[in-house]
Amino acid sequence: MKNMAKFAGIAALVMTASVFAQTDEAAQDNTEATSEVTIEEQVSTMEGKLNGLEESYLETKTTVDKLKKIKVSGYIHAEMQIKTQDPDNKGKWSEYNTNLQIRRSSFKLEYAGSLANVVFSFNPIGGTDPFEVKDVYVNFKDQWTKMNWIQAGYQDVPFGFENGYSSGTRETPERSKIVTTAFPSEKDMGVYYMLKGHDGSKKVFQIMNLVVGVNNGSASGKLAKELDNAKSAVGRLRFNVPANAINMNFSGGGSGYYGNNIHATPTDSISKANKSTALYTFNTNTNSWVEDKSAYTNKPLERYYAGGDLQITASLPIGGLKVMGEYIQGAQPSVSKSTTVQTSGASTGTQMRNISGWYAMYVQNFGKKIQGVVKYDFFDPNTDIAGDDITYSLGTVELAQKNLGIGANYFVNDNIKLSLYWDHMMNETSKNVSIDPAGKKNLAYDYSKDVKDNHDKVTIRVQGRF
């Protein structure tokens, strides 16, 4: 009996252990199943989060890629000008005319797309018209050769070198007299075809490019609105030849411009009633302005220019140098007794002028901080007459103008440039322009020699650029 009791006890213990073992195994299996479900859920949740992050990243990348195509730039020219005056014409700096001003400023937005570029810039303050629009144009290239471009809108007239040379880059404070006379606003409303090579194009297209097109020809700024329905044609062929073996580069080009403006006075009778609306041409036989009655049938008044320019750069141990020059000649209708181009009809009389001018400039860098500049500028407002043939009745406007400029630029960093520039103005001389027909001196200054009145000018400028 004792043995049976022991056997029964052992059997009970074995069965109990078996039950507990099965229970533990079931619990373990249930725990493992529960863990497996939890991990799968976590993985699924993580995948969802990653997908969300990827979508957010792609959206951000798209936005950043668009923003990368937008470029914002600009500059400010804050300056002090000191002009010399000499009331007694003895060459003394007896009086100073000092002026603090914002000469010009620019705020520019550019969008560089895969097919087209869009540019907008305006003048926030400074110059003659604050908040004046400076550039509004779009250009696009063909997607096959990538060399053919069309550019349309309000933009620089593509003539010569200095007219399109940015004021934020130019080494001198102002452009040359011949350039500002022919293109006083620098801009016009037009459409142009451009042929521009790239690294993958043929060699000839890499060193040559062409711009041709038409514009309104108003030269008046204010987005160059059309005034007479007549259009002007303009073109420039430019070359750029690197000479790497001698550390030099040669560039330049030739330009042409032809347009016309309709004279405002339609009949001879109006001219007789109001001489201020007459048109005058210069008679080289009598050295005088003569009324041209053929203009009173809405005869187009020609405005045309031809020019050539050259730029040479080289690298020297002390720093890079640049030599540049440009020559322009042509004809234009001008306001009477002035060289200002007349484009909107005659309000004070119009004179058809043959003009010419040129400049030569030498720029020498001394390291990366200092830059020296010397420039000579010549402008002839009437190539049909010169010297002593310019009389009192013709006036001093016919005298040629010369300017010697000497200056220095100091680059504080990529954003700040300090400039000091001296303009020494000189005039063509005439023994007769200061004497009226009665033989009496009737002008304040003797133009038989260089007149020093208000000619010298010192410009101290700070350029801030971003």
Give the per-residue SS3 of 47-109.
Answer: HHHHHHHHHHHHHHHHHHHHHHCEEEEEEEEEEEEEEEECCCCCCCCCEEEEEEEEEEEEEEE
In a domain, 205, yes or no: no
DSSP 8-state symbol, 245: G
Least confident of 68-82, 108-122, 336-350: 336-350
Same domain as 89, residue 23: no
Same domain as 33, residue 80: no
How many whole angstroms separate alpha carbon 257 and alpha carbon 212? 10
What is the model's pLDDT at position 434?
A: 81
- Please state the separation of Cα 358 from the chain's center in Å: 20
- Among 68, 83, 113, the domain-final residue is 68
Q: What confidence tier does 199 reach under pLDDT thresholds 50, 70, 90?
A: confident
How many whole angstroms separate alpha carbon 263 and alpha carbon 298? 5
In a domain, 442, yes or no: yes
Give the closest residue to 302 by CA, choosing from 251, 254, 258: 258
Same domain as 284, residue 249: yes
Same domain as 445, residue 416: yes
On the 0-12 / 13-18 / 19+ scale of CB atoms within 10 A, 342 is buried
In a domain, 433, yes or no: yes
Question: How do residues 406-442 score in pLDDT, each as one tens digit?
Answer: 999 999 999 999 999 999 999 999 998 887 776 665 5
What is the model's pLDDT at position 48?
A: 65
- Among 68, 91, 120, the domain-final residue is 68
Same domain as 371, residue 333: yes
- Among 68, 90, 114, the domain-final residue is 68
How many whole angstroms separate alpha carbon 103 and alpha carbon 81? 10
Which residues on adjacent β-strands are paired with residue 236? 211, 255
Least confident of 25-39, 90-104, 137-151, 248-262: 25-39
Alpha helices in 218-350 (DSSP H): 268-273
In a domain, 202, yes or no: no
CB atoms within 10 A of CB 80: 13
Rg value, the chain, Cα: 38
Question: How do residues 208-242 score in pLDDT, each as one tens digit?
Answer: 999 999 998 877 766 767 766 778 999 999 999 99
In a domain, 162, yes or no: no
How many whole angstroms separate alpha carbon 45 and alpha carbon 246? 66
Amino acid at 453: D
| CB distance 176 to 359 below 8 Å | yes
Q: The tokens of 260 are what?
A: 């016309």
How many whole angstroms separate alpha carbon 302 and alpha carbon 293? 16
In a domain, 150, yes or no: no
| CB distance 159 to 187 below 8 Å | no
Q: Which domain holds residue 3?
A: 1-68
pLDDT, greater one: 270 or 277: 277
In a domain, 321, yes or no: yes
Same domain as 96, residue 2: no
Residue 142, pLDDT > 80, answer: yes
Alpha helices in 237-368 (DSSP H): 268-273
Is beta strand 350-366 parallel, antiparallel or unpaired with respect to 279-283?
parallel
Residue 278, pLDDT > 80, answer: no
Q: What confidence tier does 295 reach under pLDDT thresholds 50, 70, 90?
A: low
In a domain, 172, yes or no: no
Same domain as 458, residue 409: yes
Q: What confidence tier does 183 reach under pLDDT thresholds 50, 70, 90?
A: very high
Where do we find the tokens 């195994």?
25
Residue 396, pLDDT > 60, answer: yes
Residue 263, pLDDT > 70, answer: no
Same domain as 95, residue 54: no
CA atoms in the 13 A half-sphere facing the CB of 311: 18
Question: How do residues 62-79 score in pLDDT, each as one tens digit?
Answer: 777 777 888 999 999 999
Same domain as 92, residue 2: no
Same domain as 32, residue 82: no
Same domain as 58, residue 89: no
What is the model's pLDDT at position 354?
A: 97
Residue 24, pLDDT > 90, answer: no
Same domain as 80, residue 62: no
How many whole angstroms separate alpha carbon 197 and alpha carbon 216? 28
| CB distance 107 to 126 below 8 Å | no
User: Domain count of the chain?
Assistant: 2
What is the model's pLDDT at position 27?
A: 44
Determine what percent of the chain falls in helix, strand and coil, rounding each to the nearest 5: 25, 45, 30
